[in-house]
Amino acid sequence: MTRWLLRLYPARWRDRYGDEFAAVLGERTLGPFDVLDILLGAIDAQLHLRGVGARSDHRKGFPMSLRLGGAAAMAGGALWLVAMTWILLFDSNVGSGAWVLLLLASVALLVGLAGLSAFQARQHPVLIWAAFSLPAIGALLTILGAAMNGSGNEYWWGLFILGVVATIVGSGLFALATWRSAALPRSGAAVLGIASLISFATFVAQSGSGDSNGVVALFVVGLGAFSVGWIVVGVQAIGLDRQVAAAGTV
């Protein structure tokens, strides 16, 4: 992957910085946030032919990822709850606004996952990449299902369900990696992990039940727990960022 990422940079940039940057990348296991950061650096280099300088050692990567990831996690959790409740209440008559909200929630959760996984990826790269890939696939399935909704195609709801399950399972894997690495407070990881289990269990119960009375309400409770889990993780990440910033000023 390192060789592929370096080829995204201009030849002039690679001649000057390539060996040093490759050495830096070789010392770490790349996570989703690292790849995103490198891609942004490549775009900047293509446009301006500037070196990465401080980017290459990622001295500011941890606080920046905490701020960005924490805010995205909070926004994604809140938007997810609103969008999913909207879709469940109106079912096949749901408007495009709910799908737009769900898409925004999915993107926000992906940004949160990438931004908050920089350190977990060092110890659990496979787990973190699975945690990021599943919601990414889920977002694509959700978009495809939304596009098919209203077209008479009966498979749109199945795609939507697969997308939801992928997002929930990926979030649970992220919580597990965070708990094992202690990169963020374990209390937040525990809340998100338990919430993901509750949300998944209630989703399965709601999907497999022919009785919509009461079971949908139970699923909404599960969605609420899932959303609260991401919000708690986001709040803790921003709080940790403030601690890092305060320590840097001492």
pLDDT tens per residue across all 250 residues of the chain: 677 777 878 888 778 877 887 787 776 667 776 776 677 567 666 665 544 443 444 334 455 567 888 899 999 999 988 888 887 777 656 667 888 888 899 989 998 888 888 778 778 888 988 999 999 998 898 888 777 766 666 777 788 888 888 999 999 999 999 999 888 889 989 989 998 888 788 777 766 655 555 666 677 777 788 899 999 999 998 888 777 666 655 4
Q: Which of 218, 188, 186 is nearest to 205 (CA)?
A: 218
Per-residue model confidence (pLDDT) at position 73? 93
Residues 211 and 96 reside in one and the same domain: yes
Residue range of the domain that includes 72: 62-249
Per-residue model confidence (pLDDT) at position 22? 79
| Of 33, 57, 81, the domain-final residue | 57
pTM, whole model, 2 decimals? 0.74
Distance (Å, whole) CA 147 – CA 94: 13
Residues 238 and 182 reside in one and the same domain: yes
Per-residue model confidence (pLDDT) at position 121? 77
Distance (Å, whole) CA 195 – CA 228: 8
Residues 8 and 85 reside in one and the same domain: no
> By three-state DSSP, how is residue 214 classified?
coil
Residues 50 and 169 reside in one and the same domain: no
Residues 229 and 136 reside in one and the same domain: yes
Number of domains in the chain: 2
Residues 130 and 29 reside in one and the same domain: no
| Of 37, 57, 77, the domain-final residue | 57
Residues 15 and 109 reside in one and the same domain: no
Residues 51 and 73 reside in one and the same domain: no
The amino acid at 131:
A
Residues 151 and 200 reside in one and the same domain: yes
Backbone angle region of 150, left / alpha / beta, with phi > 0 → left and psi within -120 to 50 → alpha: left
